[in-house]
Structure 1
Amino acid sequence: MGQDVSVLMAKAAQLEAAFKEEKALPVYQQVLQLQPRNIPALCRCSDLNCRIGNREADQGKKIDYFKAGYRYAQSAYRLDSTNSEVNVVIAFSLARMALIQSGKEKVAAANEIKRFAEQAIRYDPTNFKAYHILGRWNYEVSNLNFIERTLARWFFGALPQASLAEAIRNYEKSRSLRPDFMLNYFELARAYRREGKKDKAIALLRHMETLRDGMYDDRMVRKEGRQLLEELTR
């Protein structure tokens, strides 16, 4: 069984590297049929469900994928709550779930996303994905206007403090840990543009063009980066 699992994990990883995520997912699921407590496979199933679901045009299918991603993350968390990657996938799946939730649930999810991202960093200070998630959290929450924050506090409970400066700090930390993470360049460029540092944003987007695609979604990220670069250099 152990040999079978090793072969399947290697096959799934190769499919991911070839940007065949829809084919990689069922292979990881086969691993879980053999080893239901395999944490790496649970994490990959969670991550891939969230990524594939985000590209799904059908709303019903999108919701199903997000819910599945969250269930896999929960299963992994029950097995090992101190695993950094487990905390990352539960934060990521919560962020995806928030897209389909009500206002009160969104606020609750926002608090949880921050908590799990910070836990991921505490258990592994070199986890670049955790810093990226925390950066995105700070960017989005700090971008809420006064009315939105007031309504959230009145009806759903206060949000933790967030700032654009903290978002940039976390994005930069993620970049230092993983210099070829394309999505981080794009989000950091957006943050610098919002801060008024246009030249820094342009430099990041131009450097992003030199990076190779590391995952399926990088194709769309590259396209969005080009659109933003054109807007900034117009």
Structure 2
Amino acid sequence: MAAVAGKGSTEQLLKKAEELMGNYRDSEALAMYEEVLQAAPDNYTALCKASYLNCRIGERVTDEGTKVAFYLKGKEYASRAYELNPKDAESNYAMAVSLGAMAMVSGPKQRLAGITQMKSFLDAALASNKEHAGAWHLLGRWYFKMANLNFAEAAASKMFFGGVCGEATNEEAANAIQTAIKYNPINIQYYYDLAMVYKELKSKESCTETLKQAIALDVTTKDELELARRCKIMLQEYSK
């Protein structure tokens, strides 16, 4: 692929990549961000976006080896971005996303370690930008995961990591995801995850209201349509 000619071309590529990413044309957007990085390896925006896209694409891949390769690349880009700007919200968010992704394909102890490490990066992201919807959503997922560890996981967390799960509750998970929705009210993933938290809390009214809001959203992509389908099924089950 041809290298980027100069600053003007870089800005044009970044703009086009952002449009592609917004339209969920992830592979095309990633290729464009990586084209920028060929000519400008320290382009901070491209590093953050390429990291996130590698993790997002990897999540949809079924082959385990390919999935891990995407996640490793995402972690590499996130680490490079973090080195450039360790206090910015986007680099910290990229680190948290990549740690969470790698945790899901790791052994039990490594998984718990990755999930534990995510928290400091999410806190830093929100300290830099308190309106970062993605960070609030991921924090909600973190609370939910840590609040619902099984006995072995909770024991390992206490032994190896000082029991960081102690501060995590399902209520905190709900509050965090509610805040994510406040700052980005059109992301159906946020509503689906919030409904799952309410289901765990056995809060039928809040769960059904959240599902109704999710179904009312205008969705177009394959992933969004699948989430809308799941929300409809859950709502039908609750309405019986």
Q: Look up the equivalent residue of 1:227 and give its one-letter code.
A: I
Cα RMSD for the two superposed structures? 1.7
The answer as to 2:137 corresponding to 1:132 is yes
Q: 1:53 aligns with which of 51, 55, 58?
A: 58
Of residues 68, 74, 89, the one that matches 1:69 is 74
User: In structure 1, what is the Cα distance between the partners aligned to 2:220 and 2:134?
Assistant: 14
Kindly provide the CA deviation profile for residues 137-170 of structure 1, in whole angstroms up to 9, marking residues without a partner as x: 000110113343124434x333312111111111
CA shift, 1:12, in A, is: 1.3
Show the counterpart of 2:49: 44
Whole-Å Cα distance in 2 between the matches of residues 119 and 213 of structure 1?
A: 31
In the alignment, structure 1 segments of 5+ residues that lack a partner are: none
Superposition misfits of 4+ residues, deviation over 6 angstroms: none
**Secondary structure of 1:217's aligned partner:** helix
Q: Give the 3-state SS of the residue equivalent to 1:166 in structure 2.
A: helix
C-alpha contact 1:21 1:216 (8 A) present in aligned 2:
no
| Counterpart AA for 1:158 | G
Q: 1:177 is aligned with what amino acid?
A: Y
- Following TM superposition, by how much is the alpha carbon of 1:110 offset from its aligned partner in structure 2, in angstroms? 1.7
Alignment of 1:114 with 2:119, yes or no, is: yes
Partner amino acid for 1:101? S
The answer to whether the 8 Å contact 2:112/2:153 transfers is: no
Q: 2:109 touches 2:156 (CA, 8 Å); kept in 1?
A: no
Question: Sequence identity of aligned pairs in percent?
Answer: 30
Query: Helix, strand or coil: the match of 1:132?
Result: helix
Query: What displacement does 1:17 show?
Result: 2.9
Q: Name which of structure 1's ranges 223-232 and 105-114 shifts more when overlaid on structure 2.
A: 223-232
Q: Which among 152, 163, 171 is matched to residue 159 of structure 1?
A: 163
Deviation at 1:214, TM superposition (A): 7.7
Give the 5 Å matches for 1:1-234: 1-154=6-159, 156-160=160-164, 161=166, 162-213=168-219, 217-234=223-240
Structure 2: gaps spanning 5 or more residues: 1-5
- Normalising by the residue count of structure 2, what TM-score does the alignment of the two structures yield? 0.91
Query: Conserved in 2, the CA contact under 8 Å of 1:98 and 1:105?
Result: yes
Change (3 A) 1:50 1:122: same
Task: Work out whether residues 111 and 159 of structure 1, in 8 Å CA contact, stay in contact via their aligned partners in 2.
Answer: no
Higher RCO, 1 vs 2 (CA within 8 Å, ≥6 residues apart): 1
- Rounded Cα–Cα distance in structure 2 between residues aligned with 1:106 and 1:217: 25
Residue identity matched to 1:21 = D
* Alpha-carbon separation, structure 2, partners of 1:147 and 1:130: 28
Instruction: Classify the secondary structure of the residue corresponding to 2:161.
Output: coil
Supply the distance in 2 between the matched residues of 1:72 and 1:217 (Cα, whole angstroms).
24
